C-alpha cells in the first residue's frame, strides 16, 4: 500500500499543476490512496465549490483543511462531503467532520485532520493531543494517517512522537516549505514535519514577492496576493507493509 500526501495547494495554478502531474505520479509510484491539503487553494485562503468540483475530477481520496478552512463562505456548502475534512479538534459546534474511514484494497484507511495551537490560534481549537487519543481509541481501521496542520516544528514533532506506534503515518502541513526529516519513528510511525506547498515556485510561501517583501522591509501592512509563474508540487509517499500495516519508508516528492 502506498499513500501519497500532497502539500498545501496555493491558488488555481496549483490545480493546473496537479492536473498535469498527478496522474503520471500516481501511475509511476503505484499510489493506492491520495490525500491533498486544500486550505489555500482559493486565492491563498479557503476552498470554493468550483475548485472543489475541479479537484474531484482528479483521483483524490481525501481533502484536508487548516487555519483557512472558513476562508470562503462556500465551505459551508461543502463540509458535509465525506471526502472533505476540517480539523477534528475544532469545537463541537463547528460543522464538518475531522476524520473519515474509507476502504481501499481491502484496508480500512482512517484519515485524520488536526490543527495545532502554537502560533496558529486564529480560530480557537481544542487540544489536538486529547482529540487524537479519542479518535485512535474509538475509530476502528487498519491504517491511520494524520495531517497535522501546524506552525511550530516542535508541536509537529511532539505530535509525531505522541502517536508513534499508534498511527501509521503523520505529516505536517501549513509552513509551505518541505522539510528533509522524513523518517520512521522508533515505534514504527512514518513522519515528516512538513510536506511543502504546491504552488508558485518563485514566491514567498506562494505569495507575490513584492507584496510580501514590503511588509518586512517597511513594517507597513500590505495585502497579500498570489504569485504568478510556474508551480512546484511537494508531498511525500508513505510505503506501507500490507502484512503488518506498518510504514516501511517515507520519501519526499518535489516536482
Catalytic one of 68, 149, 174, 176: 68
Return the axis-axis angle of helices 128-138 and 153-163, rounded to nearest 10°. 30
Q: Is 174 near Fe ion (CB under 5 A)?
A: yes
* Span from 44-52, 172-180, 184-192, 247-255 in contact with Fe ion (CB under 5 A): 172-180
Distances from the Cα of 39 to the Cαs of 66, 149, 177, in angstroms? 6, 10, 15
* Span from 57-65, 152-160, 167-175, 191-199 in contact with Fe ion (CB under 5 A): 167-175
Beta-bridge partners for 172:
148
Each residue 61-90 as x (binds Fe ion by CB under 5 A) or -, in order, gives -----xx-----------------------
Q: Which is nearer to Fe ion, 45 or 166 (CB)?
A: 45
Smallest gap from residue 173 Cβ to Fe ion (A): 7
If binding means CB under 5 A, how many residues of this protein chain bind Fe ion? 3
Q: Which is nearer to Fe ion, 39 or 208 (CB)?
A: 39
Distances from the Cα of 134 to the Cαs of 80, 88, 97, 176, in angstroms? 21, 10, 14, 28
Q: Which is nearer to Fe ion, 67 or 203 (CB)?
A: 67
Smallest gap from residue 67 Cβ to Fe ion (A): 4
User: Among this protein's residues, is 68 annotated catalytic?
Assistant: yes
Smallest gap from residue 35 Cβ to Fe ion (A): 15
Smallest gap from residue 249 Cβ to Fe ion (A): 27
* Span from 42-50, 129-137, 166-174, 223-231 in contact with Fe ion (CB under 5 A): 166-174
Q: Grid cell 471526502 — which residue? A: 83
For residue 163, how many other CB atoms are within 10 A of its CB?
Answer: 26
Q: Is 99 helix (H, G, I), strand (E, B) or coil?
A: strand
Sheet of 33-37: strand order equals 62-64, 33-37, 2-6, 234-240, 247-254
* Span from 22-30, 57-65, 72-80, 171-179 in contact with Fe ion (CB under 5 A): 171-179
Smallest gap from residue 42 Cβ to Fe ion (A): 13
Task: Indicate the DSSP class of residue 38.
Answer: -
Which pairs with CB-CB distance under 8 Å and at least 24 residues apart come from 179-187? Answer: 179/153, 180/252, 182/236, 182/250, 182/251, 182/252, 183/250, 184/247, 184/248, 184/249, 184/250, 185/160, 185/161
Nearest Cα neighbor of 34 from 4, 63, 9 is: 4
**Near Fe ion in 142-161, by CB under 5 A:** none
Q: Which is nearer to Fe ion, 156 or 174 (CB)?
A: 174
Beta-bridge partners for 103:
108
Q: Which is nearer to Fe ion, 67 or 182 (CB)?
A: 67
* Catalytic residue annotation: 68
Binding interface with Fe ion (CB under 5 A) = 66-67, 174
Amino acid at each position: 500500500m502506498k499513500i501519497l500526501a500532497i502539500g498545501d495547494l496555493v491558488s488555481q495554478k496549483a490545480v493546473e499543476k496537479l492536473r498535469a502531474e498527478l496522474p503520471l505520479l500516481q501511475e509511476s509510484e503505484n499510489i493506492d490512496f491520495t490525500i491533498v491539503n486544500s486550505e489555500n487553494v482559493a486565492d491563498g485562503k479557503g476552498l470554493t465549490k468550483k475548485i472543489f468540483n475541479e479537484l474531484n475530477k482528479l483521483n483524490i481520496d481525501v481533502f484536508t483543511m487548516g487555519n483557512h478552512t472558513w476562508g470562503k463562505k462556500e465551505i459551508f456548502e461543502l463540509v458535509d462531503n465525506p471526502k472533505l475534512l476540517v480539523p477534528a479538534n475544532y469545537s463541537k459546534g463547528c460543522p464538518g467532520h475531522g476524520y473519515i474511514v474509507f476502504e481501499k484494497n481491502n484496508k480500512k484507511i482512517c484519515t485524520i485532520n488536526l490543527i495545532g495551537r502554537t502560533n496558529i490560534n486564529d480560530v480557537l481549537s481544542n487540544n489536538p493531543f486529547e482529540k487524537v487519543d479519542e479518535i485512535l481509541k474509538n475509530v476502528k481501521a487498519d491504517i491511520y494517517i494524520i495531517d497535522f496542520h501546524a506552525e511550530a516544528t516542535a508541536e509537529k514533532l511532539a505530535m509525531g512522537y505522541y502517536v508513534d506506534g499508534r498511527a501509521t503515518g503523520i505529516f505536517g502541513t501549513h509552513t509551505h516549505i518541505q522539510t528533509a526529516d522524513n523518517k520512521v519513528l522508533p515505534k514504527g510511525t512514518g513522519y515528516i514535519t512538513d510536506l511543502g506547498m504546491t504552488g508558485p515556485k518563485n514566491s514567498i510561501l506562494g505569495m507575490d514577492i513584492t507584496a510580501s517583501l514590503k511588509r518586512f522591509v517597511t513594517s507597513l501592512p500590505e495585502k497579500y496576493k498570489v504569485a504568478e509563474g510556474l508551480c512546484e508540487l511537494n508531498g511525500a509517499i508513505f510505503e506501507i507493509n500490507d502484512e503488518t500495516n506498518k510504514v516501511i519508508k517515507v520519501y519526499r516528492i518535489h516536482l
